Amino acid sequence: MNAPDPQKPIDLRSVKTACGTCSLVQLCLPLGIGKDDMELLNSIIKRRRPISRNGNVFCLGDNFHALFAIRSGSVKTYTITEDGSEQITGFHLPGEIIGLDAISSGYHPCGAKALETTSVCEIPFERLEELAETIPGLGRQLLRIMSREIQSDEELLTLLGKKSAEERLATLLLSLAQRYGERGFSFKEFHLSMSRNDIGNYLGLAVETVSRLFSRFQQQNLIVVHNKHICIEHLGHLQAIAGYTGSPPVVNVDANAGACVGGKR
Amino acid sequence: MNAPDPQKPIDLRSVKTACGTCSLVQLCLPLGIGKDDMELLNSIIKRRRPISRNGNVFCLGDNFHALFAIRSGSVKTYTITEDGSEQITGFHLPGEIIGLDAISSGYHPCGAKALETTSVCEIPFERLEELAETIPGLGRQLLRIMSREIQSDEELLTLLGKKSAEERLATLLLSLAQRYGERGFSFKEFHLSMSRNDIGNYLGLAVETVSRLFSRFQQQNLIVVHNKHICIEHLGHLQAIAGYTGSPPVVNVDANAGACVGGKR
DNA sequence: CGGTCCCTTGATATTCATCAATATCAGTGG
DNA sequence: CCACTGATATTGATGAATATCAAGGGACCG
């Protein structure tokens, strides 16, 4: 069930113990804070026992009291629309923080469900805020993480607003490839922990369309698909499909626009 | 070129525009911080001269050095995709903070352009971070604002991923109505500062579709349209179209799922 | 081994984009 | 005030992309 780990980048035992020895430290909350401070952060974090597939990390509507960092496994976050259908808002891999959208309202506008057996670190938010007052680097990193989340949501907006079905799936595959790569796994060969249904839901497509696209991509020798196992054969070509036309993006189209108010370019 | 110097103590203009007397204080950054602290915050904020229609608040790719709060007018934020086309990521009204997506990378992944004559407050980010270390409430409010942004992006994702053209336009109209209402304007009658093109772009629809929908909504007596002036005639019906089916949304569909790990409901 | 769920593939339907023509609006200058 | 121009908006006709419906095939699990 678990993804293959070719280089064994993650020693499970050490991951279990503390942020200081967690291999995800470069991706996660403690990035850029000192050893002593890390110890403090470590002391407020609760490591929970693994959640099995389809288990909830938190539920839609839950009171917000903590953020969660994914230690291993993977998670989908989703909302339920007024008519009862689900919209998946993200797939999350180890090192990513979920629950950020709940800070403002005090309850979770999204639910989070494990796609496979998953361990998470629970980070009580009040204590995190207290800590951030004494560790400036921590507050900064939290802002950076939230900013990155906003940025990635914006990319997803573009995907849903402008891209064709082909472009959408190619973009998702490349995103997963890159993120697996950043985590020490192979970027060209990985396991999809989510169902076709989830993929379609996330990309705003019908399941059938997703299925057809996988078939088409395979026919074109872009990828090899075996159930949930994906192998990317032609990264460049896949990037081309995802929207890298190769043509240089024209940044400032309108010549008549005034200069920017805020700042030098 | 430069904004009026906020340091001068009893300059009428600065008094007029200071956070302490700004009508947007309930919506904006200073919410929930004390009078003295407000003065501090006020001292780092630069008020810029108005930007005329189509002028840039900041440009795509600019180095990030400040957030901007909208004081009056309205702004669209947008990215340019690889193939050179624009995707609008948001319309922003007074009291809203833009530029949050630039914190993590240090440059602006979105541009921001005035839809009409617009004034903004420039909030240098480094100084804001310094200040947040001494004013805990400020850091908290910043997190809340970012969280709200994430939440609203997620709603937009649902809109683009699941909703029909009709639902999308109705949702946008209701969102604008509500936000104008919160700002003390009429919620049932307002002026669209953006073009049909912008609306279509934002909603992931062709201009022609938007135009047809306006016509159809008007035929159905839901709204009255005069160019850019909108009057909502049947709020309830519009809400129904936007997705409020009236049927209670079933929150926890799956009975077999495990209990939530994080927290009590 | 049988049942269930998930995935795939084909045929048809629908929504919305695109193309094209006209209409309206906002400036500009005579 | 009017005529002129370019941008913006509306409306109709057509087509393409993708959803929906339907059926069969395969994987996983007890």
pLDDT value of residue A259: 57
| Residue B260: per-residue pLDDT | 67
Higher-confidence position of A225 and B243: A225
Least confident residue range of A24-33, A174-183, B239-248: B239-248
CB atoms B157 and A82 under 8 Å: no
- Name, in order, each residue with C-beta under 8 angstroms of A72's C-beta and a sequence gap of 6 or more: A10, A12, A15, A94, A118, A119
pLDDT at site A30:
86
Question: Which amino acid residue lies closest to nucleotide C25, measuring CA to C1'?
Answer: B227
**Closest by alpha carbon to A150, among B67, B150, B22, B119?**
B150
Asked if the model's pLDDT at residue A39 lies above 50, the reply is yes
For the record, the structure tokens of A44 come out as: 């407020």
Mean pLDDT of chain A: 87
Tens-binned pLDDT, residue by residue, of chain B (265 aa):
444 444 444 444 444 457 888 888 888 898 988 888 898 999 999 999 999 999 999 999 999 999 999 999 999 999 998 888 899 999 999 999 999 999 999 999 999 999 999 999 999 999 999 999 889 889 999 999 999 999 999 999 999 999 999 999 999 999 999 999 999 999 999 999 999 999 999 999 999 999 999 999 999 999 999 999 999 999 999 999 998 654 444 444 444 444 566 544 4
Look at residue B9 in the predicted model and tell me its pLDDT.
42
Q: What confidence tier does A67 reach under pLDDT thresholds 50, 70, 90?
A: very high
Chain B neighbors of A32, CB-CB under 8 A: none
Cβ contacts of A210 on chain B, cutoff 8 Å: none
Contact A184, A23 (CB under 8 A): yes
- Looking across all nucleic acid strands, the nucleotide with the smallest C1' to CA distance from residue A163 is D17
Residue B204 DSSP one-character state: T
At A175, the amino acid letter reads S
pLDDT of residue B52: 93
What tokens appear for B87 in the block? 């995707």
Test mutation, B58, B108, B160, chain A, max A CBs within 10 A: B160
Task: Report the alpha-carbon distance of residue B42 to residue A241 in Å, rounded.
Answer: 49
Q: pLDDT category, A261, cuts 50, 70, 90?
A: low
Please judge whether B57 and A260 are an interchain contact, meaning their C-beta atoms are less than 8 angstroms apart.
Answer: yes
List the structure tokens of B233. 């005639």
Residue for token pair 């705003």: A204
Whether the predicted pLDDT of A14 surpasses 90: no
**Hey, are the CB atoms on B250 and A62 less than 8 Å from each other?**
no
pLDDT of residue B262: 52
A101-136 tens-digit pLDDT: 999 999 999 999 999 999 999 999 999 999 998 898
The distance of A6 to chain B (nearest Cα, Å) reads 30
**Chain A residues near residue B157 by CB distance under 8 angstroms:** 87, 89, 153, 156-157, 160
Contact (CB<8Å) A82/B55:
no
A44: number of Cβ within 10 Å: 15
Q: Is A139 on the interface with B (CB under 8 A)?
A: yes
Strands (E), chain A: 46-47, 56-58, 66-72, 75-80, 86-92, 97-98, 111-114, 119-124, 189-191, 223-226, 229-232
Q: Which pLDDT score, from 0 to 100, does residue B11 have?
A: 45
